[in-house]
Amino acid sequence: MKKLLYATFVLLTITLPTTHAYIFGEKNSKPAEVEDLTLDQDLPEKIDSPNREYAWFWQRTEPKKNQASTASKSKTPASLPSPRFISTPHIALLLPLSGQYESAALAIREGFIGAYYLEQQRDPNTAMDIRIYDTKADKNVPRAYEDAVQQGANVIVGPLSKPGLEALLDSEKIDNNIPMISLNTLETRNRLPRYLYPFALSPEDEAMRLAEQAIHDGHHTAVGLVQDDSYGGRAFRAFKRRFEQLGGSVKDIIYFDPNRALEDPVRYILKIDSNASSDNPPRPRQSMDLIFLVAKPQQARQIPPLLKFYFAQNTPIYAMSSVYSGIPNPGLDNDLNGIIFCDSPWIIDTAQRDPALVTMSSQLHTPATQDRLFAFGVDAFLVARQMSHLSSVSELRVNGVTGELSMDKSGFIVRNVPCARFSLGVPHVL
């Protein structure tokens, strides 16, 4: 079979034999290539990494002992049946490797492959078949899914985009016996098939964690300074809901245009008198003890200086991870000092990164700007391998590179992310 050289690592080499399947477009489409991961040579010695423990190793090494010890803890909701245990998984990864979402899909693929290689290095005897399908356009997702099922997939990872997921659900081609980990979520949950497990870098996970951190720090009255887009709206609603559940109160909010100056929105949220002058200095509102901020780095860097100008520099700012580019830049980010935000461990706790994954990311030439998506790909693989345990043991928590992963009662994969505070222009984990 013809082989395509995919990537060469310092430690090992992957080759991708080419198989063919009618997965794109209409029925008369020409066959398209499906990447099928196999090893071109024997793997070297395992790389020991104490920072990353995978719970499925625990199940494999002591099955009788651990099955007995967890039997009493296992809680599977009646509405959420567990997928069958996959001892030799055939994983199909559905990604738009060309088209509108190409750059994001490529970063996710590299993370997925990196995690696969890490597992192989730790246990070369692990049997696994991974095939990657380029869905290209959203309308092709149902055909790619159908083809993957026909070729024997027993775990589906993807699709990536919301429209692609909508197209698949509308097609009614879902096989309820095959667990599917979608890489996005939908606003409504009542139409989700019973074997669909959404996993996403959702703003809701971060915003709720931020609310918990704020309450933990002793704050109870918030105002919102939020960019006017769907991301900002979702983040604010999640923050407000969780903050109020924990006893806090959100007094006010203003949505701002990220393409315009922020002076007016800041004056509004601080309730600065329009007649303020040197003889009548501004007096910021007293009915708040934190600002919830959703902004991009360029806008976020303007906020602390403006607060200082209006004598509100001591007001704590709790922000979404959008304020940080993910690339350390102390010179520019010095204005963010004091801001608290929550993000993936891979981004804010770089000292704890698995050296093997760092090497693979470097060898795959993953851009630093795509680090969050690379980490997402790593954890997508981890969730696929952990699916039977996550769905059957409600207390199970898995340490991923995007956060601590668990499954809620609706089947959603939830991330519990750490928080950090900017100091000297760089984030430091709390």
Task: List the domains of the chain with CATH numbers.
Answer: 3-201+353-416 (3.40.50.2300), 203-343 (3.40.50.2300)
In three-state form (DSSP H/G/I as H, E/B as E, the rest C), the secondary structure along 109-126 is: HHHHHHHHHHHHHHCCCC
**What is the average per-residue pLDDT within 169-186?**
90
Answer yes or no: is pLDDT of 392 > 90: no
Query: What's the pLDDT band for 45 if we cut at 50, 70, 90?
Result: very low
Rounded CA-CA distance 321/347 in Å is 10
**Residue 274 pLDDT:** 66
**Residue 279 pLDDT:** 59
Task: Count the Cβ atoms, other than its own, within 10 Å of residue 183.
Answer: 26
**What is the average per-residue pLDDT within 393-397?**
84
Query: What's the pLDDT band for 3 if we cut at 50, 70, 90?
Result: very low
Helix (H) or strand (E) holding 104: helix 102-122
Rounded CA-CA distance 320/294 in Å is 5
Query: What's the pLDDT band for 409 if we cut at 50, 70, 90?
Result: confident
What pLDDT digit, counting tens, does each position of 298-307 carry?
A: 999 999 999 9
Residue in 1, 11, 10, 9 with CA at minimum distance from that of residue 34: 1
**Residue 216 pLDDT:** 98
* Exposure of 253 in the CB half-sphere (CA atoms within 13 A): 17
**Residue 160 pLDDT:** 97
Angle at 179 between CA 176 and CA 184, to 5 degrees: 110
Query: What's the pLDDT band for 370 if we cut at 50, 70, 90?
Result: very high
Q: What residues pair up with 15 in beta bridges, in sequence order? A: 5, 38
Answer yes or no: is pLDDT of 60 > 60: no
**Residue 190 pLDDT:** 61
The share of the chain scoring above pLDDT 70, in percent, equals: 77
Rounded CA-CA distance 302/256 in Å is 13
- Label the pairing between strands 32-39 and 129-134: antiparallel
**Residue 323 pLDDT:** 98
The share of the chain scoring above pLDDT 90, in percent, equals: 61
**Residue 362 pLDDT:** 86
Residue owning tokens 């915003």: 207
Residue in 23, 22, 249 with CA at minimum distance from that of residue 135: 23
Of 62-66, 154-158, 270-274, 368-372, least confident by mean pLDDT is: 62-66
Helices (runs of H) and strands (runs of E) counted in the chain: 14, 17
Rounded CA-CA distance 346/371 in Å is 8
Rounded CA-CA distance 166/192 in Å is 10
**Rounded to whole angstroms, what are the CA distances from 180 to 80, 174, 284?**
13, 9, 51
Token pair for residue 176? 């309820």
Q: What is the mean pLDDT of the chain?
A: 80
